[in-house]
């Protein structure tokens, strides 16, 4: 039985993509195949990581295509042409429309660096999330993997993992610890869980 074909959408360095590549290599992601990596940024180091792992890559630029509609149209075409069944957003800096998310219901996953519903939604991305957590004085933060719908960070939660905040944490130090202790662990596990579900649905 063929594996669930997965596309990973990236914009930057690709640390979460690397966690997925490593998990696929180690057999943690057993029911899914990382078939395609798409970036909206031609300079993203994530593309190099994908190429090094032998994964097909594509660049789709909103700037070049001129509008969000044209960008999503090209994205959908590229996904369909590659037989993609599941999408993982790994540091993808583009908000997707309802039209796009409706095309892949419960098939798009995102990892967010907080325990949703804390520190999430519009404007909460990257270091901003950790700055907010520290400013608020929470003692525990973490990461969440959730399904993606048209509301930023609004889809059903798949997995969460808590991370302790330590005395003297800076946003950068906290960001790194949340990645290592939470994001890189629950993202591959969630991908495997959903890939397995999709595969079982295909059987029926």
Q: What is the DSSP string of 123-161?
A: T--THHHHHHHHHHT-SEEEEEEEE--SSTT-SPEEEEE
pLDDT in tens, 137-150: 999 999 999 999 98
Give me the phi and psi of 19, to 5 degrees please.
-60, -40
Model pLDDT, residue 204: 74
Closest CA to 186 of 155, 157, 156, 149: 157
- Residue (of 94, 88, 14) closest to 47 by Cα position: 14
Q: What is the pLDDT of residue 170?
A: 98
Q: So what's the pLDDT on residue 122?
A: 87
Q: Residue 202: its pLDDT value, please?
A: 84
- Catalytic residue IDs: 112
- The whole-model pTM stands at 0.95
Residues 179, 105, 180: CA angle, nearest 5 degrees:
5
All domains in the chain, ordered by first residue: 4-203 (3.40.50.170)
Q: What is the pLDDT of residues 64-105, one digit of tens each?
A: 999 999 999 999 999 999 999 999 999 998 989 999 999 999
Q: What tens digit of pLDDT does each residue of 34-59 get?
A: 999 999 999 999 999 999 999 999 99
Residue 105, helix vs strand vs coil: coil
The mean pLDDT of the chain is 96
Q: What is the predicted pLDDT for the residue at 161?
A: 98
Per cent of the chain over pLDDT 70 is 100
Residue 1 has pLDDT above 80, yes or no: no
Q: Which residue(s) pair with 7 in the sheet?
A: 36, 87
């Amino acid at each position: 039985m063929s594996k669930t074909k997965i596309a990973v959408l990236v914009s930057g360095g690709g640390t979460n993509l690397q966690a997925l590549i490593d998990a696929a290599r180690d057999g943690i992601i057993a029911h899914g195949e990382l078939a395609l990596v798409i970036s909206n940024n031609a300079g993203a180091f994530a593309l190099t990581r994908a190429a090094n792992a032998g994964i097909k890559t594509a660049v789709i630029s909103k700037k070049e295509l001129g509008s969000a509609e044209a960008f999503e149209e090209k994205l959908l075409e590229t996904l369909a042409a590659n037989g993609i069944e599941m999408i993982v957003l790994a540091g993808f800096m583009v908000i997707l429309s309802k039209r796009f998310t409706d095309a892949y219901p419960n098939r798009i996953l995102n990892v967010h660096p907080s325990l949703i519903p804390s520190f999430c939604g519009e404007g909460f991305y990257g270091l901003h999330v950790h700055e907010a957590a520290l400013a608020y004085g929470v003692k525990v933060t973490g990461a969440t993997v959730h399904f993606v719908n048209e509301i930023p960070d609004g889809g059903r939660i798949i997995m969460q993992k808590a991370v302790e905040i330590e005395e003297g944490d800076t946003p950068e130090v906290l960001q790194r610890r949340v990645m290592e202790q939470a994001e890189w662990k629950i993202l591959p596990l969630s991908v495997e869980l959903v890939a397995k579900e999709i595969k079982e649905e295909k059987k029926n």
